[in-house]
Chain A
Amino acid sequence: MAALAVGAAGCGGSDNNTSSTSAGAASCDRADLKLVNGRKLTVGTDNPAFPPWFGGAEKAPWKVSDPRSGEGFESAVAYAVALRLGINKPEVEWVVVPFNTSFAPGPKKFDFDINEISFTPARAKVVDFSDSYYNVNQAIVVKKGTKIAGATSIADLKPYKLGVQIGTTSYQFIKDNIKPSQQPAVYDTNDAAVAALKNGQTDALVVDLPTAFYVTAVQVPNSKILGQFESTTGEHFGMVFAKGNPLVKCVNQALAGLKADGTLQRIQDRWLSKVVAAPVLK
């Protein structure tokens, strides 16, 4: 039995990586990058891949659009970052990572996950976040012609049944800032939240502004963006890495470069420009 115990303890944590990190600066040269799949960069995101974050024609296994197309804000950012690291488009692989598994303990099957994940200090204790690649505003979607469509301030929203998707900071935003009198409804998927809005089971849907644009443009035809909320906490999206992954530093360098020479702004203008015009609710 002692042998069993020793064997089991020994089997667990063998490191596949034989090269040791030198004490001090870990280089961000292409050859020195420690990637999950040695030669290729593995990027994770959830399924379906919704516009404007992803674009291109739908291709299995992803639904709605295709992260591999390079179209869509997050796809474009991922490829731009990869290029800065010296990794070309054909060397980038995408894997489906359901949101719930992106922060599961244990080794990750991706180098980073890009999936509209907001940075919070609590989350940063479990995973590593890259710097911001997009500053988020929450927005509220309503059906045209309903009572809530006449609301003009945050206080006007109190009596209504609001809906959110789980895992988004929208829920916390509702609880902290709107404080509705009815318990908000929380859905596992974007589709369920949208179906509830269509059915009238919820009066409004609170999502980030770009997703709100997609909801009103495509998913719920007779809806509109009632307004957006000012970000009180400086909410931003970051890429998710395994805790302690040295790649974060290199990705942050890449992001800094993209911001400095205006590439990130160009990408944002190309894919997210239409969503800027929504009134701010106070």
Chain B
Amino acid sequence: MSGGEGRRSAVIAVVSTVVFFTVLGVLITHAPGWPEVRRTFFDWGQFKDSLPEIARAFLLNVKIFCIAEVFILVFALVLAVIRSLQGPAALPLRLLGIAYADFFRGVPTILVIAMLGFGAPALQLKGVPLSTTFWGIVALVLVYTAYVSEVYRAGIESVHHSQAAAARSLGLTHWQSLRAVVLPQAVRRVIPPLLNDFIGLQKDTALVGFLGSVEAFKQSQIDAAATFNYTSYVAAAVLFVALTIPLARFTDWLVLRDRRRRQATGT
């Protein structure tokens, strides 16, 4: 593309973007209900008032997803490896793995949280923790292990069969070839979807509020109910988005670095 064409395209792009968003902005702000919506959702005073407490409650969300993610990454890998086991002797294990993944991907996360969070303590067994944060983490780990194991499986299956064959022909056992050859490649390939699921997990920590824990979303609900104003929800949303953006850019950087490394090897 010549310089002139390139410049023309850029100008058209800028103009059309400006026009589009201007028209959208005008349509919204001239809607008859706009003043009320703005007062209800975008009240700056409410935003400032509710943000500190919501930010404090947000620390609970951070604690939950940091702890949960560690367990999820490990358990999901174990589950993916189980499901990829070959041989008839491993059938019962594979069936269990399939049943687990189907069940926990099928039941809505909020239900798992509710059933575990209220049901397990209700059993009144000795030694069963009552803490809602604990059961919230357990529920999230159970559900996300099912999803993330599928991601690992996709990674494992995307490693070309010749890699495993070559490893075996070098004398490595099945487990050695898995550990040294297949899994490192598989995991590297699925880092973007893994981070994507991590981002999803961060949002789902809000569901733990159903058990009574005052995390960011619950705190914003409290503020909304007290003032009959929804701006606190916007404040909570801003916090969640602020967390996601660096992670998303970090994911992009990781992918780029990995691609550069792979392409740089060789002559």
Instruction: Flag B38-50 by CB within 8 Å of A: 1 or 0 each.
Output: 0110000000000
Interface segment, one of B70-78, B84-92, B148-156, B212-220: B212-220
Hey, which chain A residues are within 8 Å of B228, CB to CB? 103, 122-123, 125-127
CB distance from B42 to the nearest CB of A (A): 11
Hey, which chain A residues are within 8 Å of B32, CB to CB? 9, 12-13
Most chain B beta-carbon contacts within 10 A, residue among A100, A185, A193, A201? A201
State how many residues of chain B have any CB contact under 8 Å with chain A: 35
- CA of A125 to CA of B39, assembled, Å: 11
Hey, which chain A residues are within 8 Å of B218, CB to CB? 166, 186
**Residue contact A192 to B30, C-beta cutoff 8 Å:** no
**Residue contact B225 to A185, C-beta cutoff 8 Å:** no
Of A1, A4, A171, the contact of B222 (CB 8 Å cutoff): A171
- Say whether B130 faces chain A, with CB atoms less than 8 Å apart: yes
**Residue contact B33 to A13, C-beta cutoff 8 Å:** yes
- CA of A99 to CA of B228, assembled, Å: 10
**Which residues of A, 148-202, contact B by the 8 Å Cβ criterion?**
163, 166-167, 169, 171-172, 183-188, 192-193, 195-196, 198-202
- Known contacts A186-B214, A192-B118, A201-B121; decide if A12 and B31 are in contact (CB<8 Å): yes
**Residue contact A163 to B226, C-beta cutoff 8 Å:** no
Tell me the dominant secondary structure on chain B's binding face.
helix
Hey, which chain B residues are within 8 Å of A99, CB to CB? 225
**Which residues of A, 187-238, contact B by the 8 Å Cβ criterion?**
187-188, 192-193, 195-196, 198-202
Hey, which chain B residues are within 8 Å of A183, CB to CB? 214
**Residue contact A105 to B37, C-beta cutoff 8 Å:** yes
Q: Give the residue name and chain of the B residue nearest to A123 (CB).
A: B228
Q: Give the residue name and chain of the A residue nearest to B120 (CB).
A: A199
Binding site for B on A (CB under 8 A): 1, 4-5, 8-9, 12-13, 99-100, 103-106, 120, 122-123, 125-127, 163, 166-167, 169, 171-172, 183-188, 192-193, 195-196, 198-202
- Say whether B26 faces chain A, with CB atoms less than 8 Å apart: yes
Closest 5 CB pairs of A and B: A13-B32, A185-B212, A167-B225, A103-B228, A12-B32
Would you mind naming 12 contact pairs between A and B with Cβ atoms under 8 Å apart?
Answer: A5-B26, A12-B31, A100-B225, A104-B40, A105-B33, A171-B222, A184-B214, A186-B222, A192-B118, A192-B211, A195-B122, A201-B132
CB distance from A3 to the nearest CB of B (A): 12
